[in-house]
Structure formats: C-alpha cells, structure tokens
A and B are shown apart, each in its own frame.
Chain A
Amino acid sequence: MTLHGNSGKVNGRRIGAVVGGQLSRGLQVRVDRAGGTSIEDLAVGSFVTIQGRKQRFFGVITDVELRVADDSLRHFPPSGSADFTNDDFIAEVVGGTTAYGLLSVMPAMAAPDDATSPESASPESATTIPEHFAPVFTASQADIDAVFKAAGDGAMSLGEPQGMDGASVRLDLSALPARSVGVFGASGSGKTFLARMLLAGMVKQGEVVSLVFDMQNEYGWQGQDNDRGRQVKGLKQLFPSRVVTFTLDEASSRRRGITPDGAVRIGYREIQPADIELLRESLNLTPVAAAAAYNLERHFGSGNWLAEFVAKSGPEITELAESIGVNASALGALHRRLAAWERFEFLDPAAHGNAAADIVQHLQRGNHVVLEFGQYGRNEAAYVLVSNLLTRRIHDEWVRRKELADGGQGDDPRPLVIFIEEAHKFLTPEVASQTIFGTIARELRKYNVTLMIVDQRPSGIDSEVMSQLGTRLTCRLNDDRDLSAALMGARDAGQLREVLARLGSKQQALVFGHAVPMPLVVRPRDYDESFYQEMSLGTTGAPAGTPAVAETAEERMQREIDELFPPE
C-alpha cells in the first residue's frame, strides 16, 4: 500500500481499483487478477471497503460484469481460434489484463481517514466517492464492526455477511422496533426463521413488548423446520417467564400437546360493521352486501346487531331487507356468511367482556404475547377478523395511555410491536386505509406501536404502508412485482435490485433500512442450540425469571402469581 497507504487500518485482500462511476449509480471497480482474485469469488451483495485518499468508504457489490479492452477478443476469443498453438497461454495472459472483471459497487458509508488522529470518526452515509484508482478490499470483521456498531446487550448476531466466512454482523435491536419492520420472502425462503429470530432477539433485549398473531402456530411453543424435519423452540420455550401464549383454538392446542396460558373469546358485541367491510374480499361479498352491516347496526343498535341478525332465518331476512332498505339477495349473502361463523368456537354470542383485556394486561406488564390461531389460521376471514379486532382494541388503549402520559398522567405505554403474517390479505391498497394496521403503519411510532409484517407477496401490500416500513429484511422473492415492491421507497433501490434478484433460494437475506447503517446481504445464523444458548445467557445471568425490563414490586408479584397460576 503506497498509493493511499497512510491508514493504520488493516485492509482485507485487495480485489481491484476504482476506475469510474458516480455516487448515484455506483462505482466501477476493475478487478485485479494479480492477487489471485477471481471474479467468481466476488458475489453481489458482498461488503467491500475502498481506501480513498481522505476517506475510507464502505460499499456493497451490486453487479459483476466482464469487459474486454480489445474488441477483437470478443470476436476471436483465444480458445476459439485455431491459428495459435498457445491459446491457453494467451487466454491466461489476457484474462485479467485486456479481458477483465468489472464490479459495480454502491458506496454506502464513509469515514474520515486521517492519519493524524488515531481514532477515526464513525462512518456516515457517503456523500461523495473515492478518487480514481482508490484500491478496493474485501471487508474484514473489523470493517463490519465499524459500520454495524451494534454491540452489547442491545445487539444480536444476525448472521454471516455474504462472502465472509466466519464473520458476523450484529443488528441493533433497539433501533429495529423503533420503526415498522418488513420481513419478506417467497415461501420456503427462510423468512419465518428470520422473523422468529428477530422476535426472540426483541424478547431477550427487553425494551419492547410484542403481540404475535401466529397464523401457522410457528412462534409460540414450537416451530417446524421442514428442511431438516425437526421441531425448533418457539418463544415460549426460550423465554418461559416473559412470553405468554393465548389460543383461539383450545382443541388444536390440546392435540399438539401444548398448554396455552389463556384462550381468547370474542363476543359478537365486539364485532363492528367496519370489520365486515374489511372482510369483504375474504368473505367474497359484494360492496352492497358488506355495507349492509351498517344498516343492520342502525337498525338493531350497536352491540346487538350481529347476534340479532344471525338469529334471523328464511323469510325474516327478506322482511328485514325491506325494512332497512337493502337488496334482499345481498342481505341473504351476508347472512349466509355470518351465520357460518357459528363454527368459530372463539366467537361467543353471549360474551360481554373485552377480548383484548387480558392481552393488554400482559403487554403492559412487559410480557410478550403469542396468539396461536390453531385451525383458524387456515381461515383467512378468522385471521383478518381477530387480528384487526384485537389490534384495534390494543391500539386504542395505547393511544389512551400515550395521551395520558403526554398530559403528565402516568408513564408512556411500553413500545409495542404487533406481528402479522400474510399482510397482503388485509393491507391491500383497497382496504389499507381502513384497517388498523394501515393506521399504525402511517402514524409511525406516535403512540409507541409499530408493526412487524411477514409476507411473501409484498406487491399485494399498499404502497403507502410499504414505504413506511423502516427496516426490511428480504429473502428470495421470485416475482418481479414483489422484487420492486420490497424495494419500494428504499434509497438506492435501483442498485439493490440486482442484489435482491440474485439472493439464494434459501439462507440469504438482504437487510436494509432504518436499523442498519447500510444494506447488506446476510446468511442468517442457524436457529439451533447455539442460538438457544445465546438467548438464554441474559436470563441465566440475572435471577431466574427476572425480566430485563424494570418492574415495580406490584408487577413482579402479579407476574409471579401468573407464573404459578396461568390466567385463563
């Protein structure tokens, strides 16, 4: 290192030199072959450092290309010509000289690199680019640590950066829930494991509480690893004292040999016409039929309308249609759909309470709540209905407490992360403005509530909601529209697209946005014994079962009672 060699930093292996480019479209880096570097070693998504004259840059390879300085090589490649007996030698000489590899590198971060100060300042977003011929190096663990400064209890090792065996990138778990999070990926790409890992990290870190709408029963007690045909530990097994499981389907829980901490019962009284409108697509209702619920509410009074309506039958419905001025066949269709809800055991015509009350109580105490859907996870209407209804109630409570706190009465409510799957079913552009999730996404963290959305079809999610997602972790997506949607609103979306399109079908994720200083491709760590160990370290260090969050004596007593006698 003589050209720009005034740095005390230890650089990785030199892979090339900057030969052109611009900040908005990325740098062009000519690959040196002298150091034994082959373009085949340089995968898109890899993290590299660039030693400029005054700054040290951190970038990501976004594309790789083959170039020839001499066009005749394109027409008469060495091995294809019979004129020379030494084609192999010729190919070896021109490979890496007149025929060479070119990388596109997105300069993401930069830190002043001043020889006079032993400690360089921390990296910031790159606002310029390195000079011509600045050498480019593979990144080292020290470089990763300089950029991803996350350390200590607030950070979790997310996995191995692309192309860096044995290195590890840490994610700042306090920054993650500060904005809504999206985890995307085609089915089988590993997004569930990634999401479960993030949830576990948040539970361990303890600053936030989460409410998980567990559609496929993957997060509570245990999850399924289909590739290896084994069971993996859910949140409850990892954090028995901090995670509370509820179920909608006690029979399913019993069949699976799981004892949930409580069951959710929803009274007919709690269902509002707006819920029916959200379910219009899942229930396959016409707009007229869905809107009829409002007429019914006016007719029977709020609270009673659903019970009264489903109790009607046959000719009574036609009469009712006339008296409330709704098309009879539309009302009939609505009746058929709602009457079928009698099969939903979690719906209780007589219940008067607030289904969310228990959940709210646990959340306020600092417990994380997983709501398993049992067999109802396969019923889209049930999932959309329950998750919306509960979230609305809980959000109302958080808004109330936040406003009280703002008025000087009481503390801010605990930051809450609401976790939903299959979001494209109820955050479609048509209904996103009406659902509580759309509201939460838009109001950011105003009321200390954020979302964690896990989905395989980001293109089905309202673009306004997508653009509010602070941090995105994206596994392989196959559909072009999903690729574009997953990057929607992201800085450098154009440059990242190729990286995203090339992710491996498994075990790779592109992480970008609020919680990470720069985009990076990561091979998520294994969800295995060593992960379990790491998750349990903090809790074994403290007295058994003591949450990391501060709790009052009263809270502590209540928690201990709850642990001894799980609330129904």
Chain B
Amino acid sequence: MAAGARRMANPIAGQRVGEVTASHTERVEGQCYELHAPPPLGALLRIGSPPVYAVVRQIWNAPIDPARPLTPRGADLETVDEVYANNPQLTSVLITRFQATVVGYAIGAAIRHGLPPAPPILHSFVFVCDAGEIAAFTAHPGYLKLLTAEGNLTADLAMSAFLRQAADAASDKRGFLLRAGRTLATELADDGPRLRTILGEMAL
C-alpha cells in the first residue's frame, strides 16, 4: 500500500463497523458488516458498553464457511470487479474479520489504560473512534504498555499505524510523536533495533 493512502484520513471515523465475534480480556475479534470495509490497521475501536478500547492489529478476508474454500473465478475476465459482478453471491459468503488488542476501558467518564475487568460481550457493537476520542484516549502514554507487550513485528507495525493516527488527532503532532517516542524509548531501552523500527515507522 502506498504511503499516501495510509495517511488518508480515516473514512469511517465515528461509524459502527461490525460486531464482536470472540472476546478475551486482552484481545477482541470482530466481523465487519460489509465485506472489504474494515476499520484500518491501527484504528482505535470503541467496543460495547461500558466501552472497551482496542487497537486493530490484524484484518483478514475469508469465506464464512471454512469447509468451502475459495476457487479462482476470473480466468477469462479483465478485472476483479467483473469477478464480483458476475458472482453476486460472493458478498454473502465472504466476510471481513479483524482482531484488536485491548488497550483500555472506561469507567463513567474516566478512561483507564489497561485490561477491563471482563471482555466485551459477544455481539457488542464496534465503533471506530473519531479524532476527539483518540486525542482523549492518548492524552497520557499509558496505553503503550499493552501495545508493546506482544513484541512481534506485525504487532509493532500496527502500533506504529495507531501512533500515526493519534498524532494526526493531536493538537501538536510532532510533540505527540516525541512524547510517545520517548516513552517507547524507556520501555524498550534494552531492544534498540526494535525501538528504531517502531520509531522509523511511526514518523513516516
């Protein structure tokens, strides 16, 4: 994906995008209402009520029935759009799923960074947070702890994507990136290469 596309403002900020299909205290899986319309990687989600906050760390598209794997359908066609136009049933048998890392929850008006007392209930509605919610959630850097806990490259890149979006939502973008970067630097003081990968990605 091109850097320009990734920098695009979140097209569905504030919208409801899907429901919870599996939930753990530290991780939530959900299914989108619409095929190929997931919240972007790194988006901050507000899930259920009382709200649990989670950051999208993985998105995948698959058939609803794992017992019926996909077969190629476009050998004689020009474009992928034609594939979907010729096979209208596809949008009913294919789905888009996502997985998100839990980073916090709300008690009343207060936002807490950390794990909620219980995971969101199944079928909880999933909303994509708007800029105001992101800015409120990232006012203090405590959320970084859970995001760095996983410790693999894909999770780190998802975190970088989240930090870029949060920086766009902050009033002082560079100041936000520096604060977050410095917090990461202290958390990851013993792993320089990992820190520098994250820093390099988040400031793109």
Contacts and interface: CB of A to CB of B under 8 A. Distances in A.
Given A83-B200, A90-B200, 15 more contacts: A69-B190, A70-B192, A70-B195, A85-B200, A86-B199, A86-B203, A89-B177, A89-B199, A90-B181, A92-B178, A92-B181, A93-B178, A93-B184, A94-B199, A97-B185
A103 to B, nearest CB: 20
Contacts of B199: 84, 86, 89-90, 93-94
A73 interface: yes
Interface in A84-123: 84-86, 89-90, 92-94, 96-98
Contact of A70 (B178, B182, B189, B204): B189
Contacts of B185: 93-94, 97-98
Contacts of A72: 192-193
Interface string A67-83: 00111110000100001
Interface in A345-373: none
B189 A69 contact: yes
Kindly list the 7 A-B residue pairs having the minimum CB-CB distance in the complex, ordered from nearest. Answer: A93-B181, A97-B185, A72-B192, A70-B192, A84-B200, A86-B203, A89-B203
B188 to A, nearest CB: 8
Contacts of A84: 196, 199-200
A71 B191 CA distance: 9
Nearest to B191: A70
13 contacts: A70-B190, A72-B193, A73-B192, A85-B200, A85-B204, A86-B199, A86-B203, A89-B203, A90-B181, A90-B199, A93-B185, A97-B182, A97-B185
Contacts of B181: 89-90, 92-93
Interface in B173-189: 177-178, 181-182, 184-186, 189
Nearest to A93: B181
Contacts of B193: 72
Interface of A: 69-73, 78, 83-86, 89-90, 92-94, 96-98
Interface of B: 177-178, 181-182, 184-186, 189-193, 195-196, 199-200, 203-204
A86 B202 CA distance: 9
A69 B189 CA distance: 6
A89 B163 CA distance: 14
A149 B114 CA distance: 53
Contacts of A85: 200, 204
Question: Which of A70, A83, A92 has the most B CB atoms < 10 Å from its CB?
Answer: A70
A72 B189 CA distance: 10
Contact of A97 (B186, B190, B204): B186
Contacts of A69: 189-190
Interface centre among B178, B182, B191 (most CB of A within 10 A): B182
Contacts of B192: 70-73, 98
Residue among B177, B181, B195, B196 facing the most chain A CB atoms (10 A cut-off): B196
A163 to B, nearest CB: 26
Nearest to A84: B200
B107 to A, nearest CB: 25
A85 B192 CA distance: 17
Contacts of B177: 89
Given A70-B191, A86-B203, A96 B182 contact: yes
B135 to A, nearest CB: 21
Nearest to B174: A89
Contacts of A70: 189-192, 195
A143 B129 CA distance: 52
Contacts of A89: 177-178, 181, 199, 203
Contacts of A71: 192
Given A70-B190, A70-B195, A98-B192, A86 B204 contact: yes
A86 B200 contact: yes
A97 B178 CA distance: 11
A78 to B, nearest CB: 7
Contacts of A96: 182
A84 B190 CA distance: 20
Nearest to A83: B200
A97 B193 CA distance: 15
B200 A93 contact: no
A92 B191 CA distance: 17
A84 B184 CA distance: 17
B129 to A, nearest CB: 25
A78 B195 CA distance: 12
A78 B181 CA distance: 14
Nearest to B190: A70
A478 B186 CA distance: 42
A78 B199 CA distance: 11
Nearest to B183: A97
A71 B190 CA distance: 9
Nearest to B181: A93
A93 B144 CA distance: 15
Count chain A CB atoms within 10 A of each CB in B178, B184, B190, B203 and give the residue with the most: B203
B196 to A, nearest CB: 6
A455 B141 CA distance: 59
Interface hub of A83, A86, A93 (most chain B Cβ within 10 A):
A93
Contacts of A97: 182, 185-186, 189
A371 B182 CA distance: 66
Nearest to A34: B182
Contacts of B200: 83-86, 90
A73 B188 CA distance: 13
A253 B69 CA distance: 114
A78 B182 contact: no
B42 to A, nearest CB: 17
Contacts of B196: 78, 84, 90
B178 to A, nearest CB: 6
Contact of B189 (A78, A83, A90, A98): A98
Contacts of B189: 69-70, 97-98
A71 B195 CA distance: 13
Contacts of A92: 178, 181
A86 B184 CA distance: 16
Nearest to A88: B203
A84 B186 CA distance: 20
